[in-house]
Amino acid sequence: MKQLNSLQSLLFIGGGLLMVVGVGCYVFMFAMQIVCWIALTGCILFALMQMMQTYEGNSLTLKRLRNILNFADMLFVLAGLLMVDNAYGFLRSAFGNQIDYITYIYNKWIVVLLIAVVVEVYAVHRIDHELKKENK
């Protein structure tokens, strides 16, 4: 795996912290219209830095796991965008009535974030296991 330099590592950790703080404050309804942007910024930083960590080997398993990790990163960004929409209601006008918006969009960022976290944990665990196996 290609390692991140020190600035990229700081952005990666900072993005993760911004994401956690933003989501936590949003859940506890603390300045929701501000912290949603903090969470989205953290999601984007975290995803970009993680996507910069590439695998340069020949293992198909690790390449597949990297693609799964990239999918989880896209889900993190989508969850952040849905959180911003939840705070501001940008997509409300795209739906014919309020019931459809609530059914399909409102608070669905939680589901997307949960799926992203589960996929991320699985892929990171498997990548670690495969790299240890490859280095033996």
pLDDT digits (tens, 9 = 90+) for 115-135: 999 999 999 999 999 999 988
Q: What is the pLDDT of residues 6-33, one digit of tens each?
A: 999 999 999 999 999 999 999 999 999 9
Q: Which two tokens stand for residue 54?
A: 């590439």
pLDDT at 136: 81
pLDDT at 64: 96
Hey, is 53 helix, strand or coil?
Answer: coil
* Mean pLDDT taken over the chain: 94
Could you give the percent of the chain with pLDDT greater than 70? 100
The answer to whether the CB of 82 falls within 8 A of the CB of 108 is yes
CB-side neighbour CA atoms (13 Å) of 8 = 11
Q: Is residue 57 pLDDT above 90, yes or no?
A: no
The answer to whether the predicted template modeling score (pTM) of the entire model surpasses 0.85 is yes
Q: In whole angstroms, how far apart are CA 29 and each of 14, 24, 26, 36, 40?
A: 22, 9, 5, 10, 16
> Per-residue pLDDT averaged across 43-68, rounded?
94
